[in-house]
Amino acid sequence: MNAAPTALSATTSGADLLLWVAFPYICLAVFVVGHVWRYRQDQFGWTSRTSQLLEHRWLHWGSPLFHLGAFMVIAGHVVGLAIPDSWTEAAGISEHAYHTTAVWAGSVAGVAMVTGLGMLCARRLLTRRIRLGTDRSDKLLFPLLSVTVLLGISATATHNVFGGGYDYRETVSVWFRGVFTLQPHPAAIADAPLLFQLHALSACLLFAAWPFTRLVHVWSAPIGYLARPYLVYRRRATPAAPAPARQRRPASSSRRAA
Amino acid sequence: MRVMAHIAMVMNLDKCIGCHTCSVTCKQTWTNRTGVEYAWFNNVETKPGVGYPRRYEDQDHWKGGWMLDKRGRLVLRSGGRIKRLLSIFSNPDLPAIEDYYEPVTYDYDNLVNAPAQNDIPVARPRSVLTGKPTAITWGANWEDGLGGAPENAGGDPNLTGEWAQKVKFEFEQTFLFHLPRLCEHCLNPACVSACPSGAMYKRVEDGIVLVDQDRCRGWRMCVTACPYKKVYVNHATGKAEKCTFCFPRIEAGQPTVCSETCVGRLRYLGLLLYDADRVGKAAATPDEQDLLDAQRGVFLDPRDPEVRAAARESGIPEDWLDAARRSPVHDLVMRYKVALPLHPEYRTLPMVWYVPPLSPVLDAVDVAGGNQDDPDHVFAAVTRLRIPLEYLAELFTAGDTDVVAGVLMKLTALRSYMRERTLGEAGDEAVLKAVGLTAREAEDLHRLLAVAKYADRYVVPAAHTEDAAALTAMENRCPVETSGEPTDAGGRRVMLGIPTLRRRAPEAPAGGRP
């Protein structure tokens, strides 16, 4: 894997270049720039957009199932995609043991996430109050997330649970790491089964959409709460700079004061 | 000693006629927006009654406020930090919209646009949340004036214990009073402590508790933690909102909207100086009934030279110290001790206090065939009439009836003495002495409670000119900006994730055409 093959060999077709190099990088660029833009421009819109007030019975089960399932799924992806199989083998974990664990844990996590997401989608569609409060970004996010999750779980189900087994760590993972090490290997994923390919592409889209949806609340996970003092005092506001005394200021110059 | 100034409020419940002007003007000012249709930063409840949201005082159920754990440490009733983060995906103790009420609007259009016909057109109620016709089955003060009380008022969480049986039993001779409520801007705010994002804070300068709209991420733990349920979720923005104590007005030296528009003139605004270092200890006082004194022990005497020196050191300006000396709130809370906090047992050390109502007692004296003007009759009645006293104690003193009785007797003595004086008699000073007042103090207190003018009721020092830059920064910015379309093309705010113009009922008739 660290043989560093010529990243973009001549055999790679134009379509592969477009799908597995250009497209992911565009999505990643949108992801990064979009976040910077939104964080600077839209603190007021940066929220989990809770709708528990309006509907709580479905949410009570759906939301924890979805979130906890998602955490496991994300952890699974980090292990499966970011850690080369040579490392796990070096740690004494056989290929078979790895895949058995992955399929089992992944199935549990996947089912939890799909069930949770299904409930969350259902309440959004069936509860009129919530449906009316659903905005454009939600209408993009919910289908996109559902498609990505369903593609992922059906890829696993088709090939690894019921199928003969497909070692994505030899192909998809190599491509994934290549994107981040700036040595893209489009050929690595080009021959992967269609479901894996579609899953990867919709995931790229999801990353591109991320900064413009409520998904941004992921970055605000309040871990700091565990350490901060209970009582928060704040001064009214600190004047940015001592204003020139008694000077009639232009209407727009006084905005920036933290 | 860390001296801080706090703008606080006292309400004289005897004067509240339940007109809801405070609530309505507050709503017009702050919550007439999408997402907070159901929210009343100020509301007036009928007591006894279940309140708004329903049974919010039942902390076994809603888990609001603080409590002492087995080792006597102060902990949030809704659980520790880890438990709070674990329940972030679905908060088990969050009131649902049904616990408040389903907000409605009316088909006013129909009144104007209905075609000529034999029937008078009506404006039917429509849910603001779904746009569909709905039946109004609950509201922010559904049992106004005890309406439906036989059905509902028994659900009042304050009606506990044996004496409560008597309340229900004698409902024919029942009592009621109105309780206006707003955010208490507590010294030990549970909402602030529960906020995972650290978006809620207490202002150093004046103690006002606010939600930073830019930092709130909608984790909704504040709603649960507040035992008064005075933090609301804006369901359009997904962020928390609460009473701001009208801080833009306060900073300009003006009273809050609810105070300004109170027709009964029952509200008082003024500064209290307090020692921020003593807050935690006071809130952790072991016996609930000692919390009242513990909180009074946190307040400082603005006339004490040592306090004044310490206050200057912590940067409190001279005119604020002067305002603290003239504060009607300090007089009612500390000097005459006739004001009491609402539910001190929640351990948040609330800063909106109440002079308990005497009227139910006087009515009861009449019923018992006594003479309202005779202090002996009233004194006897105050202690003998088990009904209101225990109820009031449940509200204001964590069940300590002696304290409430003391305040009511003081008010009775004051009334009787001042009535004699007004009628040209000498006035019986023995009555005053019995409640610990001098003639001079009685005149003073009477003036404050009965005839105080605008400037005496509202002693609000303006925020300081040194901070002018900070204040003008606020001018361009509404602290709770509305959802919906950006108003101007060059608007600097980009609001993603907020539904634009929602709930325009699709099936609402476009006009009167058949």
DSSP notation for B139-178: -TTTTGGGTTHHHHGGG-TT--SHHHHHHHHTGGG---EE
Residue range A184-199: mean pLDDT, rounded: 93
Question: Which string of DSSP letters, residue by residue, matches A8-41?
Answer: T-TT--HHHHIIIIIHHHHHHHHHHHHHHHHHHH
What is the identity of the amino acid at B201?
Answer: Y
Bridge partners (DSSP) of residue B346 are none
What is the identity of the amino acid at A183?
Answer: Q
What is the identity of the amino acid at B78?
Answer: S
Domain assignment present for A2: no
Cβ-Cβ contacts under 8 Å, A232 against chain B: 192, 195, 198, 200-202
Tens of pLDDT, residue by residue over B402-442, are 999 899 989 988 988 998 899 998 888 888 998 999 999 99
Average predicted confidence (pLDDT) for chain B: 87
Nearest to B188 by CA among B227, B217, B141: B227
Q: How far apart are CA B182 and CA B158, in angstroms?
A: 19
Task: Say if the Cβ atoms of B203 and A43 lie within 8 Å.
Answer: no
pTM beyond cutoff 0.80: yes
CATH number at residue A163: 1.20.950.20
Kindly state the tokens that stand for B497: 């994730």
B337 to chain A, any CB pair closer than 8 A? The answer is no
DSSP code at position B371: -
Cβ-Cβ contacts under 8 Å, A240 against chain B: 469, 473
Alpha-carbon dihedral of residues A54, A58, A63, A69, nearest 10 degrees? -170
Q: How far apart are CA A168 and CA A11, in angstroms?
A: 21
Considering only the beta carbons, identify the residue of B97, B219, B469 that sits closest to A257.
B469
Task: Say if the Cβ atoms of B217 and A46 lie within 8 Å.
Answer: yes
Domain assignment present for A152: yes
Q: How far is CA B334 from CA A17, A53, A188, B36, B433, in A?
A: 78, 40, 78, 36, 18
Domain assignment present for A19: yes
Q: A212 lies in which domain range?
A: 14-226
First to last CA, chain A: 50
Q: How far apart are CA B402 and CA A167, in angstroms?
A: 78
Confidence of residue B502 (pLDDT cuts 50, 70, 90): very low
Domains contained in chain A, number: 1
Residue A13: per-residue pLDDT? 85
Q: How far apart are CA B238 and CA B216, in angstroms?
A: 9
- CA-based radius of gyration for chain A: 23
Q: How far apart are CA B14 and CA B182, in angstroms?
A: 18
Count CB atoms within 10 A of the CB of residue B438: 11
Contact B314, B2 (CB under 8 A): yes
Tens of pLDDT, residue by residue over A127-178, are 999 999 899 999 999 999 999 999 999 999 999 888 888 888 889 999 999 9
Residue of B nearest to A138 (CA): B497
Confidence of residue B507 (pLDDT cuts 50, 70, 90): very low
Task: Say if the Cβ atoms of B205 and A47 lie within 8 Å.
Answer: no
Domain assignment present for A249: no
Instruction: Report the residue of B235, B247, B251 to disrupt the A interface, i.e. the one with the largest count of A CBs within 10 Å.
Output: B235
Count CB atoms within 10 A of the CB of residue B443: 16
Greater model confidence, A243 or B383: B383
Residue A243: per-residue pLDDT? 43
User: What are the strands of the beta sheet with B209-211, ordered from one edge?
Assistant: A233-234, B200-203, B209-211
ipTM surpassing 0.90: no
Greater model confidence, B8 or A156: B8
Q: How far apart are CA A141 and CA A213, in angstroms?
A: 7
Residue B169: per-residue pLDDT? 59
Residue B210: per-residue pLDDT? 97
Cβ-Cβ contacts under 8 Å, A239 against chain B: 467-470, 473
Bridge partners (DSSP) of residue B267 are B11
Q: How far apart are CA B426 and CA A18, in angstroms?
A: 100
Residue B358: per-residue pLDDT? 85
Kindly state the tokens that stand for B199: 């978006």
HEC profile for B32-85?
CCCCCCCCCCCEEEEECCCCCCCCCCCHHHHCCCEEECCCCCEEECCCCHHHHH
Domain assignment present for A238: no
B130 to chain A, any CB pair closer than 8 A? The answer is yes
Residue with tokens 């560093």: A4
B97 to chain A, any CB pair closer than 8 A? The answer is yes
Kindly state the tokens that stand for B286: 């072991």
Confidence of residue B147 (pLDDT cuts 50, 70, 90): confident
**Would you tell me the crossing angle of helices B401-422 and B386-396 to the nearest 10 degrees?**
110
Tens of pLDDT, residue by residue over B109-146, are 899 999 999 999 999 999 999 999 999 999 998 888 77
Task: Say if the Cβ atoms of B196 and A234 lie within 8 Å.
Answer: no
Residue range A79-83: mean pLDDT, rounded: 90
Tens of pLDDT, residue by residue over A27-58, are 999 999 999 999 999 999 999 999 999 999 99
**Lowest-confidence pick of A250-254, B149-153, B175-179, B182-186:** A250-254
Q: What are the two backbone dihedrals, phi and then psi, of residue B450, each rounded to the nearest 5 degrees? A: -105, -40
Domain assignment present for A92: yes
Nearest to B242 by CA among B63, B498, B26, B500: B26
Cβ-Cβ contacts under 8 Å, A243 against chain B: 468-469, 472
Q: Which residues of A are part of a known binding site for heme b?
A: 67, 77, 199, 217
Q: Is A163 helix (H, G, I), strand (E, B) or coil?
A: coil
Cβ-Cβ contacts under 8 Å, B233 against chain A: 50, 52-53
Q: How far apart are CA A160 and CA A163, in angstroms?
A: 5
Task: Say if the Cβ atoms of A43 and B198 lie within 8 Å.
Answer: no
